[in-house]
Amino acid sequence: MKPSIVYCLKLLLLLALGGVTMHVPDEDTVVASLGSLRLDGHFGFGHDAHAAARDFGNRCSLLPAAVLHPGSVSDIAATVRRVFLLGRHSPLTVAARGHGHSLLGQSQAAGGIVVKMESLAAAGGGDTAMRVHGGHVDVPGGELWINVLRETLKHGLAPRSWTDYLHLTVGGTLSNAGVSGQAFRHGPQVSNVNQLEIVTGRGDLVTCSPEENSDLFYAALGGLGQFGIITRARIALEPAPKMVRWIRVLYSDFETFTEDQEMLITAEKSFDYIEGFVIINRTGILNNWRTSFKPQDPVQASQFQSDGRVLYCLELTKNFNHDEADIMEQEVGALLSRLRYISSTLFYTDVTYLEFLDRVHTSELKLRAQGLWDVPHPWLNLLIPRSTIHKFAKEVFGKILKDSNNGPILLYPVNRTK
């Protein structure tokens, strides 16, 4: 019986798209409604509101009437409760904003209130502090994953499942899914949460878990913020490795590429991270890799031609500690011997665990320096059944997308049981 597998596809097409702008000028009403609230934090207007009317998608601008900078969880509960008590005919809406990585205004609120969750993490102390104990970490919903990693590494621990980009808030990714190359083994981030603290739509502060208020727990995880605002999460941890062997290889045949991916995610002993991406008509792809990776065979790699071809890159990592380097080399060698990649395209490097997990931020800094970060980002994320992935690839990569200069195309399988 074949294992149950689904493919995760992520495309970023950098297109010139028309945006959406909305402005609902109702600041006086909001001030009148919220002015009597006693807060540990404060409300912001003007510049704050304009900053909250943008997101990573950069395709729409919805101007809020106010931005809440919470100094405590009680600030969020009190604000939501006040809006709820205004009744269903009130035009006020509330949106939680983490690092603003929504794609089409989901973290915005036209004429309403945006809750800046990062302010909660910045407040520090009390109910906004991060705490590591036992096999888990308690984290404010507005804390960035990169900060969670740095804090847990001090204890020799780290969360099991990640996103590719760590400068996102805990509550933000848990409200979506949090999928990366570890998901085949550990599931997405939403599958690695032991407990949540949530402010519901009535302004109640509720603790929930698989055993307590479980309906709310499972609704909020991946619930896009529609069942409450995640103000704290208890995340499962595991011992953190010191180092990572980071490997890239290329395939020219899609069927071979997917068969090798599927073999790896179902093997009892495998790599620790498995992703893949599609390369369409890229010039000198291996020469570009040389800035960060070493070719196993420099001569063969220098003769490889990628122009005019559709290629598939398998990206893999194996975690290890310094005293386990020899064992890691043996395990990696055994796994690579089972793969059918183009032999001249094996590239690798050894980096720290932190450097690997924070790799996308390095690319972000380069794009910001070139003025290419604050542009429209129409991401498309799909889960595609294994039974139709080959037909999908033939139609999309073979006929629709003629080059991959518009942005990355990630493609990798995950186990549905996770």
| Active-site hit among 69, 99, 101, 186 | 101
Residues in CB range of 109: below 8 A, 6 or more apart: 62, 64, 93, 94, 95
Catalytic site residue 167? no
Q: Which of 73, 206, 233 is nearest to 141 (CA)?
A: 233
Report the distance separating Cα 192 and Cα 221, nearest Å. 10
Rg (CA), the chain: 23
57 vs 62: CA distance, rounded Å: 12
Pairing state between β 229-239 and 347-352: unpaired
Could you tell me the CA-to-CA distances from 8 to 180, 340, 410 in Å, in that order?
A: 9, 22, 8
Q: For residues 236 and 148, is the Cβ–Cβ distance under 8 A?
A: no
How many residues in total does the chain contain? 418
CA distance 271 to 318: 5
- Would you put residue 366 in left (φ > 0), alpha (ψ -120 to 50) or beta? alpha
Burial level of 197, CB count in 10 A (0-12/13-18/19+)?
buried
Catalytic residue among 138, 164, 315, 355: 164
Name the packing angle between helices 27-34 and 73-85 (round to 10°). 110
50 given a catalytic annotation? no
3-class state of residue 316 by DSSP: strand
Q: Tokens at residue 311, please?
A: 């290629």
Question: Active-site residue 101, yes or no?
Answer: yes
Residue 341 CB partners (closer than 8 Å, separation 6+): 249, 250, 251, 260, 314
Q: Which listed residue (75, 262, 275, 358) is catalytic?
A: 275
Cα–Cα distance, 209 to 195 (Å, whole number): 4
* Residue corresponding to tokens 């980071």: 246
H/E stretch holding 412 reads strand 409-415
Active-site residue list: 101, 164, 275
